[in-house]
Each structure stands twice: as structure tokens, then as C-alpha cells.
Homo-oligomer: A and B are copies of this chain.
Amino acid sequence: MGRARTIDKGRLFHETEQLILSSGYAGFHFKALAGRLGVARSTIYNYYSKKEELLTDFMVHLLEQVVEKIDKVSRQDDAVEGLIRLWGQYAYMHQMMQVMPYIDKKATKQVEKSAEKMAALLAEMRGKVKVILQQEQQAGRIREDIHIDTMVGYVMASVQIPVRQHSEESWVEEVTLLVKGGLQK
């Protein structure tokens, strides 16, 4: 019994993502979110009592998705290409992550907890990339004259290479060539 809910976590997350991508952290507030959802602002407080809680909860959700996919990638044949392909799919994640530093992590206990989880997931992500590169090193496919953490940073940074003048597939192809072989002939 009782009245049926008009919004669910799925829509909440989807509109949160869209709002941040279009307006950034400064433009992310419950008034704008309510407008997108077609409900009154106060309605959102029935789901999350602070915008920081909604945001960090969503971020954790997003990172968990990506970490899971990295696991699949690491079991693939060409793991480096797999990573680049994953970056292509989650290119917007990076933009989402950039709002992290501005979140007041001490807003509530819940936020604090989610923030810790986010940090842990990001570390896990870097760790998994590192393992992949080390596997490639052992297979003799990757150089050993450079600090492994620099190479991890290098692979992670490639997510930011802008695309989208050609197809996503050709982006993956070209970026993989560059990350593996560099600029040189």
C-alpha cells in the first residue's frame, strides 16, 4: 500500500550524470536536478538528504562498473588494446571524476564512507592497470626501462585524447598504436 514512487535510483543516477556532464559541479544542484526529473525539489530529499550523498553514491556505482570491466579486460588476449577500448567507452568517467576534489567529504558520515570507497576503487583501478602492465612486461612485450607508475599514468592519461571526428573504432585503433608504439616510425 501507499503511493507509488515517481522516480527511481536509475533515473536519479542518469540525470545526475547528464547534469554534471552538461553543467559541471557548479551547476549540479537539486533545483536543476528536480527540473530534469520533473518533480519538486523537495521530492529528491526523500531519496538523498544531501547532494554530496547522491553524488558520491553515484560515483561509487560508476567506478564499480569500470573496475569490473577491467577484470574482464585483463583476461583478454591483447590487454592493452582492451584497456584503450574501455577508455573509449567510459571517456566521460574522467570528466565525472574531476568533480571529486570539490566535494565536501565531511558533509555526513555516509558521504565520508562513500568518499573512502571511491578512493579505494580508484586505487584498485590503478592497481589493476599496473598488474596488466607487469604481465605484459613478463611476456616480454613491454619495456622495463621506465618506472612502472609512470607507465600506468601514461596509459590512464590516454583516456583524454579527444576523438570523435572519426569513428570510435578508429579512435581505439589509432590510440592503441600510439600507446604501444609512440610517435616514432
Contacts and interface: CB of A to CB of B under 8 A. Distances in A.
A179 B175 contact: no
Of the four ranges (under 10, 10 to 19, 20 to 34, 35 or more), the interface on chain A belongs to: 35 or more
Contact of A154 (B136, B142, B155, B178): B178
Interface in A162-185: 162-163, 165-166, 171, 174-175, 177-185
A112 to B, nearest CB: 19
Contacts of A171: 150
Contacts of A155: 183
A24 to B, nearest CB: 5
A35 interface: no
B178 A180 contact: no
Interface in A125-150: 133, 136, 140-147, 149-150
A33 interface: no
Contacts of A184: 141-143, 180-182
Interface of A: 23-27, 80, 98, 101-102, 133, 136, 140-147, 149-151, 153-158, 160-163, 165-166, 171, 174-175, 177-185
User: What are the nearest 10 A-B pairs in CB distance?
Assistant: A182-B182, A153-B161, A181-B182, A157-B160, A24-B102, A150-B174, A157-B161, A153-B162, A26-B102, A146-B174
